[in-house]
Every structure is written in C-alpha cells, then in structure tokens.
Amino acid sequence: MKYYSTNNRHRKVSLREAVIQGLAPDNGLYMPEYIPVLPEFFINALADLTLGQIGFEVAVRFLDDDVPEDELRKIIAHTIQFDAPLVAIEKNVYCQELFHGPTLAFKDFGARFLSGLLGYFAQQENKTITILVATSGDTGSAVANAFLNVPGTRVVVLYPAGKVSEVQEKQFTTLGKNITALEVMGTFDDCQRLVKAAFMDADLKQVFFLTSANSINIARLIPQSFYYFYAYAHLAKTRRPLVVSVPSGNFGNLTAGLIAKRMGLPIAKFVAATNVNAVVPEFLKSGVFLPRISKQTISNAMDVGNPSNFVRMLDLYNQEAKAFSNDVAGYSFTDAETKGAMKSVFEKSQYVLDPHGAVGYLGLKTFLQAHPEYSGVFLETAHSAKFMEVVEEAIHTKPELPERLNKFLAGKKTSIPVSAKFEELKSLLPSLLA
C-alpha cells in the first residue's frame, strides 16, 4: 500500500514515510492509494469478533507491507485495552462511549496506535523522533500520555491559552520527562498553523526528525475506523438503516468513519454535528467552503474554523460536493442548545452527556426527525467529568470524577507561554529539543 498527497496524487510514499512525515512536503495530507474493501463474510461475522480482532483485520489491509504481522498484533494489543460500549438512550438512539481509555477521550485510540507505530519506526530508524501536536483539548492529553516514556520519541504540545478545560490542560502539562507543553497566545487554528509551518521549514527539518500526532497524520485515522465496525456489529440485528452522528471539529473522526464505509461497512448515513464553527455543515448545504477564525464555545475541542481533514473528505469523493452530501448531513448548534440537550437527556434517562456528545446527540435527533426509519448512534467522545463546570451548570449535578482525573488535577502545571508568531516557535524549539 502506497500513500499519496492530497495536493499531488502522483507523489506516492510508503506508510513509513507518510507516518513519519505527518504532512506531505507539498503541504498536502496523505491518503491511501486505494481503500481496501473487506470481504462480505467479514462484515457478516462482525458480531462474533472482539474490538481487537476487528482492529487487526482492518489495520492489516493498510499496514501489511510496512509492519510485520507479529509487530502489528502487539500494536493492536497496546492500542485496545478498553471497550467502546453502546448505551441505549432512547428508542432507536444509542450512544457509543469512546472515553474508556487512559485519558477518557476517543483520541486514546489513535494516539496509542500511533505511539506503537512510531515507537517501532524509531527503533528501525535509530533516531529520536520529535512529535509536534496542536490541541484544542483532548488530542494533547491523549498524545502526551500515549508517548510518555516511549523510547526514541519526544513530544511538544501546542495549545491555546485559556481555551481548554483545567482537566484537559493538567493531563499534558503535568507529565514532564519527554513531554513539553507550549501555551500559545491565540486559537487552536493558530496552533495548527504553527505546527504545519514547522513541518514546512527547511531549517527545522534539517536539524530535527519531525512528525505530527494530529489527525493530519494518516496513522491516527486508521484506528479511529475500528469502533464504527464495532458499533455496526452491535446494531445490525435491528435490521434498520444506520446513521452515525459524529461531533466534529477537525473532522478526523468523521473521515475515519467515511473510510470505514468505503471499506464496505453498511452505514447508510453520517451526520457532521458541529457547534457554531459550522464551516462543513454550511458547505454541505451550499457547496462553498468558507474557512474562518474559530469561535470559542463550551464544546471547545470542536472550536475549529479551518478543519484540516476537509480536504481528505473531499478527496474520498473526488472533489464532488454532491456525492459527499449524499452520504453526510450537517447540522450546527449553539451553546444554549447544547446545554438544553444535556439537561433534557439527564432528566429523561439520567445519562450525563459531555458538551461534545450533546452536539452529536442533537445532530442525530435532528436527522431522525426527518428519517424515523433509521436507527442512530452518536459518539460520546469524552467523559463528562473533563468538563465539570459546564456539565454542572447544565444539569445542576456534579458528574463523578474518576480517580485517574483526580491524579492529574493534583499535579503541577508546567508550560511555556509563546506568541502565535512562527519565528518565536522556530527560535524556541532548538533549546527545547537539545
């Protein structure tokens, strides 16, 4: 399997190159040269397979040329040490809980997979790999914890000052060792821009072996497809068409779902559910993509005004907006609507949504109102306790704080403030990574 840049389909590299580079030299994102289709008997047998078995069968289609089978099984075992259960919320409405990993967010799947893969490649390269990662919340904590003490790697997390929750911040600013946190005076889009600029800078690339752990890295998307197969396996027996609502910011999660669909998974429809940073729902209605500066909301991990993975989604549909909109519906919601959903679901079912899952729930309910023949799943991407103040304000009840979050909160924050200017980052990195 080779991988091409979204800016040049003719430039193809190995998985190893795509993962280590993160971003293509032409500033494009890597995509597999084709999407492998899984055999029908595998789809029919999903209900009898564990999440780990599903993960291996999906991943081997993308990695078999670059990673030995025994090593891949180790990576899958390292990645999947927790469940992704489905919970019935209402009739034909299910929540898939993706927060049972070490940092209580769905990004543990992609970060742990990537840490295993890059750890293997670092051994092969006999070099120290530096991972630059921009975060609007959960990515930083998932990546930092996944790579903590992984030989041959070091991590620099860039995050927007004052725009992540205290729990999220403590999960990557208290670790030390091979993890460094940079507190950027700007937005997530600024952090993402800085990371991309670093990858494109010839001076930095000459000195450091740089890669990314954001969803711009193709290795993040492969494991995120696993749980879509797992969700379908548990709901195929309903014999109703399935719609999956994905709370979306940088759109890596939805891209992974669309890849799973292209591999043969019979998900009939996806919903791109966003907060007021609604550039993709607007595109799905108008066919015009208008990126902008992101607005701060209570669902902060989705505060993205120029989602990187938009180009990947369009690439899957050969730049055809109509084909894209046939598979994906898009809706956006305000903070007031998000809080209202959290309150309503808690009162009806005693289920505690986090603000991102609440946006996914609203997207699903909006779709089902017009299409009651479907069964629906929305993704609950983070534990509600990571957003304690927002949740308590919405439902007037404090969510239970898991012990592992308590441990993070007790740690001492260590971060380095930087401006949103690339020149400052470029001059700082050599001293950080010496």
For 68-107, write each residue's pLDDT tens digit: 999 999 999 999 999 999 999 999 999 999 999 998 999 8
End-to-end CA distance of the chain: 35
186 closest CA partner among 155, 202, 168, 164:
164
Phi, psi of 176 (to 5 degrees): 65, -150
**What residues act catalytically?**
107
285 occurs within a structural domain: yes
Distance in angstroms (rounded) separating the CA atoms of residues 46 and 379 = 19
Residue 119 · residue 75 · CB < 8 Å? no
pLDDT of residue 432: 85
pLDDT of residue 424: 96
User: What's the chain's length in residues?
Assistant: 434
- H-helix or E-strand spanning residue 285: helix 279-286
Q: Quick one: how far is CA 339 from the chain centroid? A: 23
Helix intervals (H) in 350-382: 355-370
Q: What's the mean pLDDT in 266-294?
A: 96
Type of residue numbered 245: S
382 occurs within a structural domain: yes
294 occurs within a structural domain: yes
8 closest CA partner among 16, 159, 23, 19:
23
Distance in angstroms (rounded) separating the CA atoms of residues 64 and 329 = 34
302 occurs within a structural domain: yes
**Number of structural domains in the chain:** 1
The CATH number given to whatever domain includes residue 350 is 3.40.50.1100
Residue 6 · residue 233 · CB < 8 Å? no
pLDDT of residue 106: 93
Q: Which domain holds residue 266?
A: 83-106+220-401
pLDDT of residue 76: 97
290 occurs within a structural domain: yes
**Taking all residues of the chain, what is their mean pLDDT, rounded to a whole number?**
93
Sign for the pseudo-dihedral over CA of 7, 8, 12, 17: negative
Strands 269-274 and 328-332 turn out to be parallel
381 closest CA partner among 95, 2, 81, 60:
95
The least confident of 182-191, 354-363, 396-405 is: 396-405
pLDDT band (50, 70, 90) for residue 127 = confident
- Structure confidence by residue, pLDDT tens digits, 381-418: 999 998 999 999 999 999 888 888 888 888 999 999 99
Side-chain-facing half-sphere of 141: CA atoms under 13 Å: 28
26 burial type by CB count under 10 A (0-12 exposed, 13-18 middle, 19+ buried): exposed
Q: What's the mean pLDDT in 266-293?
A: 96
292 occurs within a structural domain: yes
423 burial type by CB count under 10 A (0-12 exposed, 13-18 middle, 19+ buried): exposed
- Structure confidence by residue, pLDDT tens digits, 197-216: 998 898 998 888 888 887 78
The least confident of 52-66, 124-138, 394-408 is: 124-138
351 closest CA partner among 94, 108, 102, 137:
94
Distances (CA, A) of 271 to 144, 274, 305, 345: 30, 9, 18, 19
339 occurs within a structural domain: yes
Q: Which two tokens stand for residue 229?
A: 């197969």
Type of residue numbered 189: D
Q: What share of the chain is helix, strand, coil (3-state, %, to 5)?
A: 50, 15, 35
47 occurs within a structural domain: no
pLDDT band (50, 70, 90) for residue 333 = very high
Type of residue numbered 116: G
